[in-house]
Amino acid sequence: MTRAFGVFAAALVVGVCVTVAYGLSTGFQRAASQADLPDVIVRFDTQDRAKVDARLRTIPGLEARSYRYEVTDVPLTFGSHFTGRGSVHVVTGGRRGYAIVPGRDARPGAREIVVEPGRARAWGITIGSTLDVGSAGALRVVGEGLEPDNVAFPVATAARVYLRPQLGGDFGVNLAQLWLRPGASLDAALTQARAQSFGVHGLSFITRTGVRALVGQAAGVVIALLVAFSLVALGVAAVMLGTAAHAEVRRGLASLGVRRALGFPRRMLARAAARRAALRALPAAALGLAAGWLAARGPSASLLATLNERPPGAAILLPLAACLAGVVVLVVAAATWPTWRATAGAPAALLRGGELAGRTATRLPLGSTPAALGARLVVARRGRYAGVVVLLAACAAVALLMLALASLLARLRDDPATLGKRYQLTVGADPSASRRIAQIPGVAAAAPRWQLSAVDSFALGEPMRIIAFPGDHTRFEAPPLASGRRLRGDGEAEVGSGLADALGLAPGGTLGIQLADGREVRFRVAGVVRALDNQGRIAYVAPGRLKPELAGLSPEIAVRLTPGADRGAVADRLSQLGLEPSQATGATGSGSSATVLDVLSAVLRVLAGAVGAVLLYALVQALALTATERRPTLALLRALGAPARTLGVVLGGAGLALVLPAAILAVLVERAVLGPLVARLTAGYADLALGATAGQAALVAAGLLVLAAAAAAWVGARARRAAIAPALRR
Amino acid sequence: MPPALRARDLVKSYGRGRAARRVLDGASLEVQRGELVAVVGRSGSGKSTLLHLLGGLDWPEEGWVEVGGERMDARRADALRARRIGFVFQAFHLVPELTGLENVLLAARLPGNRNGIAQRGAELVEQLGLGQVSGALPHELSGGEQQRFAIARALASDPDVVLADEPTGNLDAASGEQVLGLLGALSGEGRGVVVVTHEPAVVERATRVVELRDGRIA
């Protein structure tokens, strides 16, 4: 019963992980197919539909197109619920690009409306109820429309609704949806669309792949952590299964000896063990996987709903079946291999309940104190020792990664230096004030900082942020250089990795920007920097070529303090001069993004705690197995007069031998593998330093020691309760 | 001076319900210092159980045990085993990861044990002719050598009583003879020695032979 429960528990963990991971990894594709998401979504300033259609209809490979008119910031009211951020999509016919999940689509001309599922869930909107939509008044809700081109409420703050008014004659649109024929070239279509869009303002393109990447980026941290957590859980499950199977074989050694003595061949015994294990594992694993699926189905569906994605439904059966086969194979292998090894020895040894074959002690220079003896006991099973150390190291590395990630998020929120900003205060003032500000005690440097929005003039529509400092900008903002060099004159620019990726820019290339007044300015790309601000869609330039535009802008003065300067004192001095200083912020400053980072940070810390629980479990399992296997040795110590607490010391030594190398390995794995991997997953456009600090490494190492002590105390207490004499009879 | 060991009216049962069996049913034994007592009896007569109760490895349902005049109870059992009792097992029970010498010195490493145990243990290894193999691991030793290391370990704390459970059961005749010689010498040093055995050779060397029959010392 206990062994079957072990298989059940392991399968349950696997079931949970697979349900969540499979749902997340395939959710977008499923939702996109169901919603008939277009290959390209084009947004632009309102244009006459006929004119837009005339330009887009010639795009090569185009299978279908449809248009919408999107109105933002529309007030929506439902009962006591209200938002001023309603996004009304006026659907003008053709393929609609969203799926009706419950209900039906709105009929043209009827006073009917379709709402997005996230908002319907949050506000309790049911089909048949009435929603007040700005000047359109009360409209009857007839369905929920799922459109996976964005995440859902509450992650997205806007509330999307769909209307189908009776439209006569021509009308304006600001959103086009393009479907390409299978096999048609997306690049060719995009190039043609951009070329056809000359003169169209406010243009932006997003492809289906781009949507997937954006949504993936939003969920990237969660998915990466879930994958890491799943791997850890699977490792623990494997150890659980292996341990249970091994313990079973140990209990049945005498029985194996009898059968060997009666002439049963090894192969037959191994086959019988495999059959028994399979018969036991199959129902337990099936039940465990089903329970895991049931437990994770709801939360996973909620998470998918937040991403505007669909749960896998019956499609989950295939991966669950594969997992069932995997768990059964693992259990069978874990039961058969020790049986095969055990029966290699003489039947007489088995009848005496002898050790499993292949055990030869090794001389280790560890001393013979009780703690050192414990270390020797656990190291004696070299293969298992290595496996447990690797498992503990993996768990600890994940915990370390989560701590590093949590502190990075906090730094991103609070510390401007994380974004390469070297100034601590900003002041809204005329550029001429910068010299006066620079003379304030505690101020190292002050310079005007201009910031303006522009679009790429070649690809027509890639938005970017231009930042201009007079002189050397790295005194104030210095994101790390990924390639090339720093800019040297008015004609050069440093571009962020995000912008470089979007426009295919490299050092030596040309950045053409179109300013708000339509003027085009070109810069030679001197270098590419790993900037996190504005998703890396940023360019640093000298102000020379932008003088006409900058003349009409009010810059802020960036104020860099001397090391150790009192920020408050400098801010007071600036206030005395009649200026209003602001503190330079991190990625988000304040508001909902900061709240999200706070929540994510807290979630990461909770997950680190959960990994700690997994670590404790793995340590208890490893020490309990050692205590079970070495019962005679522990009993001998008691027979020699060792006080009961000595068993705790012995097991503490065993725990120490496990966690010390695991801690070192964990730091190496986090720094060399996990940190860089997750940094790339979560923000490929920037340089995220996810290497754990010495303090965090020390914290995790200390945590491991505490967990080892707790596990040793727990297992030691159990070992103390075991009778001495029976263990010595073996 | 109190006897090395006294046990009175020991009762011990195994199993439950219809399968319950009273292995010891009022067994009493007194061992004087310098005595080598052989406990004999049929298989399953409770010889090993008696030895375990005498050594505080298990607890009687009724009756009591005194070692060197000190009553054995749960609170003091660890200390009594450490100071006054040495065990020798048929299966030797050497820790396979420790060398022969380290096994002997194991008692010295335990918290609360007296100073001088390590030195005495090292001397015993030499006295028992094990100096040459003191750095060998148990699986590199012969059965006789392993049992001599086990005896050295039992004597390292200079106990009043040595309890041996079939000490020659896993040894060849020559090694068995050597071990019996050692046990005889132990009683000669003023210790009480109790040996549970089936072996006539042990019985021949014993100063007193007691038989365990129907749960009592006959």
Write out pLDDT tens, residues A496-514: 877 887 777 889 988 888 7
Higher per-residue pLDDT: A87 or A305: A87
The per-residue pLDDT for A591 is: 44
Q: d(Cα A550, Cα A468) in Å, to the nearest integer?
A: 9
In this prediction, residue B40 has a pLDDT band, given cuts at 50, 70 and 90, of: very high
Query: From the centroid of its chain, how far is CA A37?
Result: 24
Q: d(Cα B41, Cα A536) in Å, to the nearest integer?
A: 88
Residue with tokens 């209307």: A163
Selected residue of B23, B83, B109 to mutate for chain A interface (largest A Cβ count, 10 A): B109
**Any A CB within 8 A of B58 CB:** yes
Q: d(Cα A345, Cα A393) in Å, to the nearest integer?
A: 34
**Best mean pLDDT range from A13-27, A108-122, A607-621:** A108-122
Query: From the centroid of its chain, how far is CA B142?
Result: 21
Rounded to an integer, the average pLDDT of A380-400 is 85
Q: d(Cα B89, Cα A76) in Å, to the nearest integer?
A: 86
Could you tell me which residues are beta bridge partners of residue B70? B67
Query: How close, in Å, is residue A638 to chain B by CA atoms?
Result: 7
Q: d(Cα A9, Cα A614) in Å, to the nearest integer?
A: 13
Are the beta carbons of A559 and A581 closer than 8 angstroms?
yes
The per-residue pLDDT for A590 is: 43
Given the DSSP bridges, would you call strands A172-180 and A40-48 parallel, antiparallel or unpaired?
Answer: antiparallel
- Count of beta carbons in the 10 Å neighbourhood of residue B25: 15
Rounded to an integer, the average pLDDT of A112-117 is 91
| Contact check, Cβ <8 Å, A633/B95 | yes
Higher per-residue pLDDT: A390 or A206: A390
Could you tell me which residues are beta bridge partners of residue B210? B39
In this prediction, residue A374 has a pLDDT band, given cuts at 50, 70 and 90, of: very high
Q: Considering only CA atoms, give the Rg of chain B.
A: 17
Query: How close, in Å, is residue B162 to chain A by CA atoms?
Result: 12
Average pLDDT of chain B?
87
Name the fold adopted by B34-58+78-217.
Rossmann fold (3.40.50)
| Contact check, Cβ <8 Å, B83/A361 | no
Half-sphere exposure of B47 (CA within 13 A, CB side): 21
**Least confident window among A374-383, A496-505, B23-32, B87-96:** A496-505
Q: Count Cβ neighbours within 10 Å for each residue of A577-609 and write b for 16 or more, e otherwise.
A: eebebeebbbbbeeeeebebbeebbebbbebbe
**Least confident window among A221-230, A275-284, A392-401, A510-519:** A221-230
Q: What is the pLDDT of residues A300-335, one digit of tens each?
A: 787 777 777 888 889 999 999 999 998 889 888 887
| Contact check, Cβ <8 Å, A640/B153 | yes
The per-residue pLDDT for A593 is: 47
Residue with tokens 């006073």: A111
Q: Read off the DSSP letter of residue A674.
A: I
Query: Which residues have C-beta within 8 Å of that of residue A71, sequence separation ≥ 6?
Result: A87, A88, A90, A134
Quick check: A419 pLDDT over 70? no
Nearest to A725 among B58, B85, B157 (CB): B58
In this prediction, residue A711 has a pLDDT band, given cuts at 50, 70 and 90, of: very high
In this prediction, residue A684 has a pLDDT band, given cuts at 50, 70 and 90, of: very low
In this prediction, residue A357 has a pLDDT band, given cuts at 50, 70 and 90, of: very low
Q: What is the pTM of this model?
A: 0.63
Which residue, among B14, B54, B50, B28, has the nearest Cα to B197 in the 3D structure?
A: B50
List the structure tokens of A364. 């280790």
- Give the type of residue at B55: G
Q: d(Cα A456, Cα A460) in Å, to the nearest integer?
A: 6
Query: How many percent of chain A have pLDDT more than 70?
Result: 80
Q: What is the pLDDT of residues A92-102, one digit of tens each?
A: 878 888 999 88
Q: d(Cα B163, Cα A262) in Å, to the nearest integer?
A: 37
Rounded to an integer, the average pLDDT of B202-215 is 89
Rounded to an integer, the average pLDDT of A650-658 is 94
The per-residue pLDDT for A405 is: 76
Residue with tokens 């001393």: A367
The per-residue pLDDT for A232 is: 66
The ipTM value here is 0.85
| Contact check, Cβ <8 Å, A373/B113 | no
Q: d(Cα A724, Cα A514) in Å, to the nearest integer?
A: 85
Query: How close, in Å, is residue B6 to chain A by CA atoms?
Result: 19
**Any B CB within 8 A of A641 CB:** yes
Which residue, among A428, A466, A426, has the nearest Cα to A446 in the 3D structure?
A: A426
The per-residue pLDDT for A412 is: 65
CB pairs under 8 A between A and B: 92
Which residue, among B46, B13, B7, has the nearest Cα to B196 in the 3D structure?
A: B46
Quick check: A619 pLDDT over 50? yes
Closest residue in B to A378 (Cα) is: B97
Residues 158-217 of B with CB under 8 A from A: none
Nearest to B78 among A359, A644, A728 (CB): A644
Average pLDDT of chain A?
80
Q: What is the pLDDT of residues A621-631, one digit of tens each?
A: 889 888 888 88
Are the beta carbons of B195 and B167 closer than 8 angstroms?
yes
Coil, strand or helix at A144 = strand
Coil, strand or helix at A230 = helix
Rounded to an integer, the average pLDDT of A569-575 is 87
In this prediction, residue A366 has a pLDDT band, given cuts at 50, 70 and 90, of: low
Given the DSSP bridges, would you call strands A112-115 and A137-146 parallel, antiparallel or unpaired?
Answer: parallel
Query: How close, in Å, is residue B109 to chain A by CA atoms?
Result: 5
The per-residue pLDDT for A287 is: 93
Q: Read off the DSSP letter of residue A49.
A: H
Q: What is the pLDDT of residues A519-531, one digit of tens each?
A: 788 899 999 887 7
> Cβ contacts (< 8 Å) between A724 and chain B: which residues?
52, 57-58
| Contact check, Cβ <8 Å, A376/B55 | no
Q: ω into residue A154 within 30 of 0, thus cis? A: yes
Query: Which residues have C-beta within 8 Å of that of residue A289, sequence separation ≥ 6?
Result: A11, A12, A14, A15, A18, A320, A323, A324, A327
Are the beta carbons of A375 and A381 closer than 8 angstroms?
no
Nearest to A640 among B52, B96, B106 (CB): B106
- Cα pseudo-dihedral A640, A645, A651, A655, rounded to 10: -150
**Any A CB within 8 A of B111 CB:** yes
Q: What is the pLDDT of residues A203-254, one digit of tens each?
A: 677 777 767 666 655 555 556 666 666 666 666 666 666 766 676 777 777 7
The per-residue pLDDT for A713 is: 93
Are the beta carbons of A165 and A108 closer than 8 angstroms?
yes
